A = this chain, B = another copy of it.
Amino acid sequence: MATESTTLDIINSPQTYISELSKHVGQEVVLKGWLYNVRSSGKIAFPQLRDGTGIVQGVALKNTVSPEVWEALKSLGQESSLIVRGTVRADERAPGGYEIDVIDAQVLQEVHDYPITPKEHGTEFLMDQRHLWLRSRRQHAVLKVRHTVVQAVRNFFDNDGFTLADAPILTPAACEGTTTLFEVDYFEGEKAYLTQSGQLYNEATAAAFGKAYCFGPTFRAEKSKTRRHLTEFWMVEPEMAYATLYDVMSLAERMLSHVAQRVLEDRAEELKVLERDTSKLESIVAPFPRLHYDDAVKMLQDGHDAGALENRFEWGGDFGAPDESFISSKFDKPIMVHHYPAIVKAFYMARDPERSELALGVDVLAPEGYGEVIGGGERATSLEFLKEQVRLHQLPQEAFEWYLDLRRYGSVPHAGFGMGIERCTAWMCGIEHIRETIPFPRMLYRIRP
């Protein structure tokens, strides 16, 4: 049988990360990573090393490194794994501000046929190579932004007095019908469904903790092939007891402002890689404009009359992508549209006491055509009203008895929202397609690798 051994001698020399070179100027360091690129000319070679925290250029002179190292550096292909010993030198001209004067190098694995080359590849090819594509500068930047979005969201809720209470993934019934649910074989022929939202469970935890949130993967078995749909995506859903629609709007704008601020501060380098217009992110500052659905409809109809929208929008419908884009184009901040017709919203939404045809719901529409990033509102508190809604929506009341209990035992006004992490990340990054904002995207025709 083949056996496996590790090169302990190399591994044991302490590693300096490229992101920390500024602390080691003038010092000898050991960098461990992968060859990103190499140029050489005559007696000088410039190997670029990446280690996952950054990319740095080395400078190797033929007459200061050993002949073996010189030959190796010149001939290595992209993604060869190697360890470089050298001295850190500050250089304003260098990307990142530092270079490494190479003293020695050790190659762990020589690679010559790395499948992703600087030439243009098709998206399907790159998605098939997703496990490697993640190493590319742009993908790396997108996922660093995602990291910061998740971290900022969690810190925001933790610091705002929310308790993390994860909702279950395997659920016995659907919030809103079973047509877009993935079915799972549980035990002994029993069926379960992958969650679409932790919403109903959050209403229980909000009553237990006052303010609670869940943050996990959610699933939609929609046969959509748009740039805004994944079948598996992450969602954060806060819920507050003793709260109204207006508390939700305030929470949403504070959270988004915090997220944008963290991305701007922590991911400045990555935003440069992505060529993001950061002025767009700088304008994400609370308060956000608020627009009653009635006024949004008027805006759309005026837009149609002026020839800016092909179809005339009629009161009572839900907005399509062109409608959302048109509305958000009128503002330089995210816009909060509220008081939608109840008929286009979920059965559990509370109604406007003055106009019962309206739901106390809000959608936050991101600028630049990113559309809805947040949906939420106030939940109905009346047991009788909810029983009727369950009946009208032809849902099995028995499956909702536990949910109805929340109106039997200490019902209070409560409200919350959901935000898709990948849509938010795509917006922060300013990228076209949501599929690049999650490490291993799941779509209609893709569950690999």
Q: Which residues of A line the B interface, CB within 8 A?
A: 1-8, 11, 15, 17, 19, 32-35, 51-53, 79-81, 108-109, 111, 114-115, 131-132, 134-135, 139-140, 143-144, 146-147, 150-151, 154, 158, 161, 163-172, 182-187, 190, 192, 194, 201, 204-212, 216-217, 219, 221, 223, 231-232, 234, 241-244, 350-351, 353, 356, 360, 378, 380-382, 384-385, 388, 402-403, 405-406, 408-413, 438-440, 442, 444-445, 447-449
Contacts and interface: CB of A to CB of B under 8 A. Distances in A.
Given A205-B439, A217-B217, A190 B158 contact: no
Contact of A167 (B147, B185, B405, B440): B440
Given A2-B382, A80-B410, A53 B161 contact: yes
Contacts of A207: 34, 52, 134-135
A168 B440 CA distance: 6
13 contacts: A4-B353, A6-B381, A17-B161, A35-B410, A52-B206, A109-B412, A111-B410, A134-B204, A139-B208, A151-B158, A168-B232, A182-B184, A184-B194
Contact of A147 (B135, B163, B440, B447): B163
Nearest to A399: B448
A11 B244 contact: yes
A232 to B, nearest CB: 5
Contact of A211 (B52, B140, B223, B439): B52
Given A32-B412, A108-B412, A151-B154, 16 more contacts: A4-B353, A4-B380, A6-B353, A6-B413, A32-B241, A131-B406, A143-B165, A143-B209, A144-B163, A167-B439, A169-B194, A169-B219, A186-B447, A190-B447, A402-B448, A403-B449
Contacts of A168: 232, 439-440, 442, 447
A27 B217 CA distance: 43
Contacts of A217: 166, 169, 216-217
B140 A208 contact: yes
A185 B183 contact: yes
Contacts of A405: 131-132
Contacts of A3: 351, 353, 356, 385
Central interface residue in A164, A405, A444, by most chain B CB within 10 Å:
A164
